[in-house]
A and B are shown apart, each in its own frame.
Chain A
Amino acid sequence: MKDKSRNEHHDDSNKTSRRDFLKKGILVGAGTVLAGGIVTSFDAFAQGGDTIKVMTTDGKVLKIPASQAIEVGARTEETMQKEGRLGIPGRKWTMVIDLSKCQNARMCMAACQSAHQLKPEMHHINVLQMDHGIGTAPYYMPKPCQHCDNPPCTKVCPVDATFKRQDGIVLVDNERCIGCRFCIAACPYSARVFNWTDPKDKEKYEELEYNMEMNVPQKRGTVTKCVFSADRLREGKLPYCASACPNGVYWFGDMNEDAVTNGTSKETVRFSELVRDNAGYTLLPELGTQPSVYYLPEKDRRVPFKTDLNLNEKHH
Chain B
Amino acid sequence: MAELNREESKRTLHKIVTDLTSPIQKHYGFKPWIFSLLLIIGVGLYAYVTQLQKGLGATNLNDYVSWGLYIAGFIFFVATALIGMLISSVLGLIGVKWIHPIARIAEMIALGFALMAGLVIVFDMGRPDRAHHLFLYGRPQSPIVWDLTVVLTYTAISLLLYILPLIPDMPFLKKTIHNRPKWQQKVYNFLAFNWIGDREQYRILKRSIRVLSILIIPVALAIHTVTSWLFALTPRVGWDSTIFGPYYVTGAFVNGVAAVLIAMYIFRQNFKLKEYLTDFHFERVARLFVLMMLVYLYFNINEYIVPGYKMKKGEDVHLLTLFSGHYSGLFWYTQFTGLLLPIFLLLFKKMRKPVPTAIIGLFVIIAGLLKRLLITVPTLEHPHLPIQNVPESFHSYTPNGIEWAILGMSIGGALLIITILAKLFPVMPIWEIAHDKGVHEDDIKNYDPKEYESNKAIN
- Which residues on A are within 8 Å of B, measured CB to CB? 109, 121-123, 126-130, 143, 152, 155-161, 176-182, 184-186, 188-190, 192-198, 220-223, 283-284, 287, 289, 311-312, 314-316
Contact = CB atoms under 8 A, between A and B. Distances in A.
A158 B134 contact: yes
Contacts of B326: 316
Nearest to A312: B386
Contact of A127 (B67, B137, B389): B389
Interface residues of B, number: 55
- Which 10 pairs show the lowest CB-CB distances between chains A and B? A179-B126, A221-B126, A196-B57, A197-B57, A158-B144, A158-B142, A159-B137, A316-B326, A186-B234, A221-B127
B66 A194 contact: yes
Contact of A196 (B56, B131, B234, B389): B56
Contacts of A196: 55-57, 61-63
B94 interface: no
B54 interface: yes
Contacts of A315: 317, 381-382, 386
Contact of A158 (B139, B380, B395): B139
Interface in B380-396: 380-391, 394-396
A179 B56 contact: yes
B317 A121 contact: no
A152 B234 contact: yes
B445 interface: no
Given A196-B61, A221-B56, A181 B67 contact: yes
Interface string B48-62: 000000111100011
Contacts of B143: 156, 182
B192 to A, nearest CB: 41
Given A158-B144, A196-B63, 20 more contacts: A126-B388, A128-B388, A156-B144, A157-B142, A158-B138, A158-B139, A159-B134, A178-B131, A179-B127, A180-B124, A182-B230, A184-B66, A185-B231, A186-B234, A194-B63, A222-B127, A314-B387, A314-B388, A315-B386, A316-B381
A156 B385 contact: no
Secondary structure call for the A interface: loop
Contacts of A159: 130, 133-134, 136-139, 142
Contacts of B66: 181, 184-185, 194
B386 A184 contact: no
29 contacts: A123-B390, A155-B141, A155-B142, A159-B137, A159-B142, A160-B137, A176-B130, A176-B137, A182-B142, A184-B66, A186-B234, A188-B234, A189-B384, A190-B385, A194-B56, A194-B126, A196-B61, A196-B62, A196-B63, A197-B55, A221-B55, A221-B56, A283-B385, A284-B384, A311-B388, A311-B389, A314-B395, A316-B381, A316-B382
Given A157-B139, A178-B125, A185-B67, A143 B57 contact: no
Contacts of B389: 109, 121, 123, 126-128, 311
B233 interface: yes
B321 A316 contact: yes
A186 B381 CA distance: 14
A123 to B, nearest CB: 6
A181 B64 CA distance: 10
Contact of B142 (A156, A197, A198, A283): A156
Contacts of A198: 55
B236 interface: yes
